[in-house]
Chain A
Amino acid sequence: MNRSLKKGRITYSMPAFLCFGLINLFSQASAEVLVVMHKSAPIDQLSSDEIKMIYLGKSKNLAENTVAHIVDHLVSSPLREEFYQKATNKTTAKSVRIWARYMFSGKGTPPEVAKDDKEVLDIINQYPTSGIGYIERENISDQVKIVHVVQ
């Protein structure tokens, strides 16, 4: 009896497990986050540690004589939560605290905040060598190049 119950549970749970896996796969695919810079930027690729340094306020120098103009999303944005979790292992609340420390220690101003991916691209167009931001893959344009894919 025990065996049949166990078997039955497995039988019923398999479709659910597969559905969950597929849903998870699709949701991950649709929310792929890309770090982008302008096509003319002097940088082609950045490592995950370099992205972490930039978005934790620990480095602004992208290349020689290039200071990053960092673009971020609103604190209410789900994309911001996902980006910081994946790229820096921080929640949005912790990212706010990190940038508060940056700003109130006199290091400079925190990232420019965009309301959506389109505005991120607009800002990067204004800063073709130094603008850096993150967007969803579906919103990528011809004007930018991918310098890092957030895993």
Chain B
Amino acid sequence: MVNGRSSQNNKYFRYYSCLNGCLNRSRSHHWLSSVVIMFGLCKLLCMPAQAEYAISSPRISGFLNAGLTNNDNKTRYLGYKNSVEFQSDTLLGVQVDSPIDESIRVSAQGIAKDTSGNFDIDTEWAYVAYTIIPQLEIKAGRLRVPNFLFSETIHVGASYPWLRPPPEVYNMFQTTRLHGVDFTYSMAFKEATLYLQPYAGEIHSETNSVTAGTDDFFGMRTRLETPNFEYIASFIHASGFFDITVRSNDTIIMQSVDFGFEMFTLGLATELGDYQFLTEFSKNQNTGTSSPDARGWYGTLVYHTDFYAPYVTLAMRDEEGTAANDLVDLHESQSVSLGIRFDLTPGAEVTFELQHAEANNQTSGLFGDPLGLAELPEDNQVNLFSVRFDTVF
């Protein structure tokens, strides 16, 4: 018992596996006022980092993903229905970067995407970045949670080789935003750069029936980059609460539960000649909720030519369901994806992908809505065909 909130499992909590889904829709906070004060103090205490500087005007840039997807299973898979869908993969993003002086810049990114039938516009990030010394930058405000290889650009289709990042791993932690502080310290060696990126903050969200928040949220990602390799190792710790209101006829049931969540991820992206290999492994541990502990892995091989890049991805996710209520709580899945990306012009590309997936051990696998209810399928196999146009501008 913490703060009077129950720690017992409840069947409603299966819908809210840890920080997934509802926490993804976080709302604004009073953090920015703290940010301004903190940056003012930093500014007083620290010397400017760079001697050369020319004021440049704000830079506006953007990205667009537009695609269609067809799921051949009657049950929804990754949220895609058994019909041709145009909305789900369609997304528009606009980013504004503006330098204030030689060491301070502000950045904001907004995205418009289809959520439950409507195109909603939301602020994906809004932060102030202060470069204390060339090796150390502090960001504060609404930030991305840096966890995977492509966490920061998960909405930017042109930034990664797939049509979509492998869900067996990337759906294990779908919260993309936090309100807090992020430190990035870089150590440059002769032909390598090591980045240490600790961060801390809070996540809070409200939907019609669920209020969720964190009491503690912190983590760290280390990243080593060489000309042909990129390695990451990351860690997240979160603890918090779900307050759930369930209305049944005239009865209103209010439940509250504390949760704990830890996640570890290792990743590697390497290029050898025309071949590129990417792999990530993630493991999470849950306490307090009915969510099981999960492990996810994928491996991707890409062959690059001047104009197109075919790829194959194998992915797997399995879970230890000792804390689960029933099989719908478990998301054991494996998939193979074949895809090819064509460069149309610099900055514009089209990608075709066929993913064959299976839900394992009579669990729901990745069927259902990744941000909501899991669904047990009648047929545990699915073919998901997708075409998407991605551009940056």
- Name A residues whose Cβ lies closer than 8 Å to a Cβ of B: 47, 49-50, 52-53, 56, 58-61, 65-67, 69, 75, 89, 91-97, 100-101, 103-106, 108-109, 126-131
Within 8 A of A (CB), among B223-244: 225-227, 230
Partner of B347, one of A59, A93, A105, A108: A93
Partner of B191, one of A50, A91, A128: A50
Chain B residues with a Cβ closer than 8 Å to the other chain, count: 49
Most buried by B among A60, A61, A66, A69: A61
| A93 close to B59 (CB less than 8 A) | no
CB distance from B82 to the nearest CB of A (A): 33
* Sample of 15 more A-B contacts, CB < 8 Å, known A67-B49, A93-B349, A108-B105: A49-B226, A53-B193, A59-B193, A67-B50, A89-B273, A94-B304, A96-B392, A100-B63, A100-B159, A100-B392, A104-B93, A104-B95, A104-B392, A105-B153, A109-B59
| A75 close to B95 (CB less than 8 A) | no
With A53-B227, A65-B134, A106-B152 as known contacts, state yes or no: A129 contacts B52, CB within 8 Å. yes
| B156 close to A75 (CB less than 8 A) | no
| A65 close to B133 (CB less than 8 A) | yes
Q: How far is the CA of A49 from the CA of B227 in the complex (A)?
A: 6
A-B contact count (CB 8 A): 114
Most buried by B among A52, A53, A127: A53
| A104 close to B346 (CB less than 8 A) | no
| B346 close to A126 (CB less than 8 A) | no
Q: Nearest CB to that of A66 among chain B residues?
A: B134
| B95 close to A92 (CB less than 8 A) | no
B190: chain A residues within 8 A (beta carbon): 47, 49-50
B208: chain A residues within 8 A (beta carbon): none
| B227 close to A56 (CB less than 8 A) | yes
| A75 close to B347 (CB less than 8 A) | yes
| A103 close to B95 (CB less than 8 A) | yes
Q: Nearest CB to that of A129 among chain B residues?
A: B52
Partner of B97, one of A100, A109, A131: A109
A60: chain B residues within 8 A (beta carbon): 134
* CB<8 Å pairs between A and B, sample of 22: A47-B190, A49-B191, A53-B193, A65-B50, A75-B346, A75-B347, A93-B346, A97-B159, A100-B159, A100-B347, A100-B392, A101-B160, A103-B95, A104-B93, A104-B152, A105-B152, A105-B153, A106-B107, A106-B127, A106-B152, A126-B54, A129-B52
Q: How far is the CA of A104 from the CA of B92 in the complex (A)?
A: 13
